[in-house]
Amino acid sequence: MERNDLEVAIIGAGMSGLLMGIRLQQAGIERFRIFEKASRIGGTWRENTYPGLTCDVPSFFYSYSFETNPDWSHRFAPGPEIQAYFERVAAKYDLDRYIEFDTEIRDARYQAGAWTIETQKGEEIRAKFLVMATGPLHHKHIPDIPGLQSFAGAAFHTAAWDHDVPLEGRRIGIIGTGSTAVQAVTPLSKLASQLTIFQRTAQWIYPIGNVAYTDAQRARKRRFPLLSKLTRLWYKQLFEASSAAVVKEGFFRRRLQQGCKDHLATVADPELRRKLTPDYEPGCKRLVMSTDFYDSVQKKNVHLEVSHIHQIEPEGVRTEDGQLHELDVLVLATGFDPHAWGVEQVVGAEGRSLAQAWKEGTRTYRSIAMPGFPNLFFLAGPQCPLGNISVIDVSETQADYILRTIQKLDREGFESIEVTREATEAFNQSVKEAMKGTLWVTGCKSWYLDESGDPVLWPWSARRFHRDLARPDYAHYQLRRAA
């Protein structure tokens, strides 16, 4: 196969990029390549190795439907297990022969009926279709805090954990209280002489225990593979039903709220409990799940600091109340830029880039296509049904949709397919209407919102997402043959 004459170019060898490669391979489409900027697969599970890392979706649901794993150690698997799972799947399907590692895509332009793709090495590749599988969680958000570079100790982001830095007996500060920080606090509290948590926004935490699976349970699932499939299906039904039910006002939303409030009530000190109480509804931000964070934050060697950070100095963090918190290690649990989609320049047929198209808000057609960008598709991109469900399940529906579209064009001799502006505008208007009354517009600031303050996710149920994307509606597209 000529490398510069591809049927499909996939950017990213994380969960969704690997999935797309497998689906193409299964369909007999061999002229594809997966371009990966790093030297290994894995995406977010390769990048994140911080202490306490787990997935907040049950392991059996956070796996490909066609590759269940009987050997998960816990209900919510630790990060290294998830990375190992993707590596096993990639090896089983021999995906390495399709992946170009250490190859970052800097520029992609639609020209003369195909995508011209330029790597950071200056190489050019041509492909009929371009699939963006970059995901939203890989551009680290580094806070703009005065003096950050002046800190004399070790400082690093949770997605670039420095395992050479000793932690035992050290004075550790962690900036942030999102899901990552909540996961890291318990192991850090066991190592640090003093752990200081710098909180800007309190989080609602729902108590779902991370039970360990026994050897006998894993052995039964190995012996009877159907049990793993049924377990995955049970979690799928449970999470999709519950996540849809709590979005609108009703019994399940009230039950979610009460569960979070009851869990918060386990914090004995009323002043600490006050500091940990959010000023928004549970579920407005992505729900954090933990049964041990509140226990950890009540330890004698753990301090929750709610005075805002004024600046960082060589000795530590100075807060706005004038206090200097002396530290040896500073951890930035400050998340990612969820609206940076991975490639510096993606330029469509009209000469406009994605960044320009999204300047006034990140909008797509059904999370998968954009007008003005022929033969371009997204996996786990904007307006996916994020929430607390499995992005793998979402990506499987998207990958099958993309595959059907590619097959149609190849079968019927079309050069390109492009969603219409009318269909895109109609879809986004329906999204805007459906957002009214949902949890996501109740007043909190979250990464579910774009820069204009509008939610960038699917406002309906995950079941509707699967149903609406079961078959492409080609009436919403323009299909063109070569001139």
Contact 98, 361 (CB under 8 A): no
Q: Return the pLDDT at 409.
A: 97
Higher per-residue pLDDT: 42 or 433: 42
The token duo for 123 is: 């190489």
pTM of the model as a whole: 0.94
The Cβ of residue 224 has, within 10 Å, a number of other Cβ atoms equal to 12
The token duo for 300 is: 């004698």
Domains and CATH numbers, the chain: 5-139+337-480 (3.50.50.60), 148-212+218-332 (3.50.50.60)
CA dihedral defined by 326, 329, 334, 336, rounded to 10 degrees? 160
Most confident of 133-147, 281-295, 299-313: 299-313
Model pLDDT for residues 339-395, shown as the tens digit of each residue: 666 666 899 999 999 989 988 788 899 999 999 999 999 999 888 876 668 999 999
Q: Return the pLDDT at 386.
A: 64
Task: Compute the average pLDDT of residues 309-314.
Answer: 98
Model pLDDT for residues 219-262, shown as the tens digit of each residue: 999 999 999 999 999 999 888 877 766 666 777 788 888 999 99
The DSSP symbol for 350 reads T
> Which secondary-structure segment (H or E) carries 156?
strand 154-157
40, pLDDT greater than 90:
yes
Longest Cα–Cα distance in the chain: 73
Q: How many helices (H) and strands (E) does the chain have?
A: 13, 20
Whole-angstrom Cα distance, residue 158 to residue 336?
10
Sort residue 86 into left (φ over 0), alpha (ψ -120 to 50) or beta.
alpha
Model pLDDT for residues 153-174, shown as the tens digit of each residue: 999 999 999 999 999 999 999 9
Contact 51, 184 (CB under 8 A): yes
Model pLDDT for residues 420-447, shown as the tens digit of each residue: 999 999 999 998 888 887 777 777 777 6
Task: Compute the average pLDDT of residues 18-39.
Answer: 97
